[in-house]
């Protein structure tokens, strides 16, 4: 039971460290709401700006298609220009002084009257700041085209069904929860994983390399506590820190979502429906073994390092190793299968998507748990073995 004495002492020790508290509580609890709020605010203001933007359009061939010109001139938030010479149009659009140029030829009216296709050329910049020019121009053209088609059908005495053979009714049977899970589900575990890792990192460095640096390692090694007691006591504290940070991050996310006025109300309803205690509980059962996996890994590496600084440089690349599969898990189309269910971190991300969507495959879930607990067990075993190696703990 000496490992409990060690764990108790380590908890007192790390909770008195300001850096640990900032990383474990302050960052996840306050940073997430701030980040979420900022992202939503920026997205909203960009969308608003895009819709409020005055579109500058030059129409070439106004005399050939006066009706079409009027349709454009009647657009909401548009400025029709007529001074730009045709050969300078491209550079004006490149520089974003002009948003679009519409070219209509002399044959336009004849083609329309003869029930033929009229050519319209539109110059625009696909990479403009808001990306909405083409959509707005297209909106006017589609409406105008529909009007012409309707007139033609009328003239030819045809019903709309002649050109529209199908009347399609799409009925989506996916629940709101499922859709949300597939789209955003991957991001939830991403937050847990990253914060869990961050939460474990500092205590792991402090309890391993920090102990060496302070010279206290010899003190506990010469105490009656066995190596297993020492490593287990430390591991439990790192795991607790990882798990708590992940949990606090979840709290931060929840607070963030509730407090941000810019999130659409219907989305909040879905989020509240989705994030039920059962869902959270299930996700946490995935987070626990993955947290155990990287807690053991971090502690092992930290014990190997000669100093805190060296430990930091050894552990830093692991950030990428953790973040990469977590990001892959958020990609659309990535699903749990017999292979992905075995890859740690990625499987947590994908399994969480399914949990949130409420479509769990028992076979894959079993595989995920077996893999996660297997890797966690292996990492703990490695950490204990590693700690027992003289060349590791007395590397300096």
Partner 1 sequence: MIQVNKLTKDFSLTRKQRKELGDEYKDTKTLRAVDDISFECQPGRIFGLLGPNGAGKTTTLRMVATMLKPSQGSISVSGYDSVSNGQKVREQIGFMTGQTALYDRLTPTEMVKYIADLHGMNKNEYQKRKNHLFDILDMHSFADRRIARLSSGMKQKTSIARTIIHDPPVMVFDEPTSGLDVMTSRAIMDLIRSCREEGKTVIFSTHRMGEANQVCDDIAIIYKGKFFYNDTLDAFKSEMTQATFEDEFIYRVGEA
Task: Give how far the C-alpha of residue 165 lies from the chain's centroid of Cα atoms, to the nearest Å.
Answer: 41
Given candidates 115, 226, 285, 366, which one binds partner 1 under the rule CB under 8 A?
Answer: 226
Per CB under 8 A, the list member of 38, 54, 94, 216 interacting with partner 1 is: 216
Nearer to partner 1, 324 or 394 (CB): 394
Query: Which residue is it, tokens 């053209």?
Result: 141
Shorter beta-carbon distance to partner 1: residue 4 or 163 = 4
Binding mask 11-40 for partner 1 (x = CB under 8 A): -xx--xx-----------------------
d(CA 158, CA 143): 19
Only segment of 6-14, 87-95, 234-242, 314-322 that touches partner 1 (CB under 8 A): 6-14
What does each C-alpha distance from 50 to 73, 96, 157, 281, 289 come to in angstroms?
19, 14, 41, 41, 45
Site for partner 1 in 371-390 (CB under 8 A): 390
Does the footprint of partner 1 cover residue 394 (CB under 8 A)? Answer: yes
What 271-277 contacts at long range (C-beta under 8 Å, 24+ apart), as own/partner pairs, is 271/180, 273/176, 273/177, 274/177, 274/180, 274/181, 274/356
CA distance 19 to 174: 45
The interface with partner 1 within residues 141-180 (CB under 8 A) comprises none
Which of residues 39 and 228 has its CB atom nearest to partner 1 in the complex? 228
One-character DSSP codes across 183-228:
HHTTHHHHHHHHHHHHHHHHHHHHHTHHHHHHT-HHHHHTSS--HH
Could you say whether residue 215 binds partner 1 (CB under 8 A)? yes
Rounded-to-integer distance, Cα 203 and Cα 239, Å: 9
Write the interaction track for partner 1 spanning residues 337-376; mark x where CB under 8 A is met and - where it is not: ----------------------------------------
- Binding residue for partner 1 (CB under 8 A) from 54, 219, 258, 285? 219
HSE-CB of 350 using CA atoms within 13 angstroms: 27
Part in contact with partner 1 (CB under 8 A); list of ranges 153-161, 213-221, 236-244, 356-364? 213-221
Residues that bind partner 1 (CB under 8 A): 2, 5-6, 9, 12-13, 16-17, 214-216, 218-226, 390-391, 394
């Amino acid at each position: 039971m000496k490992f409990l004495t060690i764990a108790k002492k380590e908890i007192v020790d790390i909770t008195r460290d300001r850096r640990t508290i900032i990383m474990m509580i302050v960052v996840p609890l306050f940073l997430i709401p701030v980040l979420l709020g900022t992202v939503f605010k920026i997205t909203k203001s960009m969308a608003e700006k895009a819709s409020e933007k005055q579109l500058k359009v030059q129409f070439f061939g106004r005399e050939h298609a006066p009706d079409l010109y009027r349709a454009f001139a009647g657009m909401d938030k548009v400025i029709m220009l007529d001074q730009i010479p045709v050969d300078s149009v491209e550079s004006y659009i490149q520089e974003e002084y002009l948003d679009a140029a519409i070219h209509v030829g002399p044959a336009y009216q004849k083609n329309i009257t003869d029930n033929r296709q009229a050519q319209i050329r539109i110059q625009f910049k696909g990479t403009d700041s808001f990306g909405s020019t083409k959509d707005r121009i297209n909106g006017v053209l589609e409406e105008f085209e529909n009007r012409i088609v309707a007139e033609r059908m009328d003239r030819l005495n045809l019903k709309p069904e002649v050109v529209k053979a199908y009347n399609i009714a799409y009925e989506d049977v996916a629940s709101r929860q499922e859709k949300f899970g597939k789209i955003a589900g991957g991001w939830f575990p991403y937050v847990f994983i990253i914060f869990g890792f961050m939460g474990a990192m500092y205590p792991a460095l402090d309890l391993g390399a920090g102990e060496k640096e302070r010279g206290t390692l010899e003190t506990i090694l010469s105490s009656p506590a066995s190596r297993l007691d020492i490593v287990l006591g430390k591991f439990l504290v790192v795991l607790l820190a990882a798990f708590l940070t992940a949990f606090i991050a979840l709290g931060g996310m929840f607070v963030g979502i509730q407090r941000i006025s810019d999130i659409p109300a219907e989305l909040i309803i879905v989020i509240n429906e989705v994030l039920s205690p059962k869902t959270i509980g299930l996700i946490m059962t995935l987070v626990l073994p993955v947290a155990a996996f990287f807690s053991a890994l971090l502690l092992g590496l930290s014990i190997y390092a000669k100093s805190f600084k060296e430990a930091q440089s050894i552990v830093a690349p692991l950030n990428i190793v953790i973040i990469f599969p977590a990001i892959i898990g958020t990609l659309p189309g990535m699903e749990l299968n017999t292979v992905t269910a075995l890859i740690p971190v990625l499987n947590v991300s994908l399994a969480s998507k399914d949990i949130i969507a409420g479509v769990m495959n028992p076979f894959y879930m079993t595989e995920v748990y077996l893999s996660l607990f297997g890797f966690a067990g292996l990492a703990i075993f490695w950490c204990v073995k590693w700690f027992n190696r003289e060349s590791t703990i007395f590397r300096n």
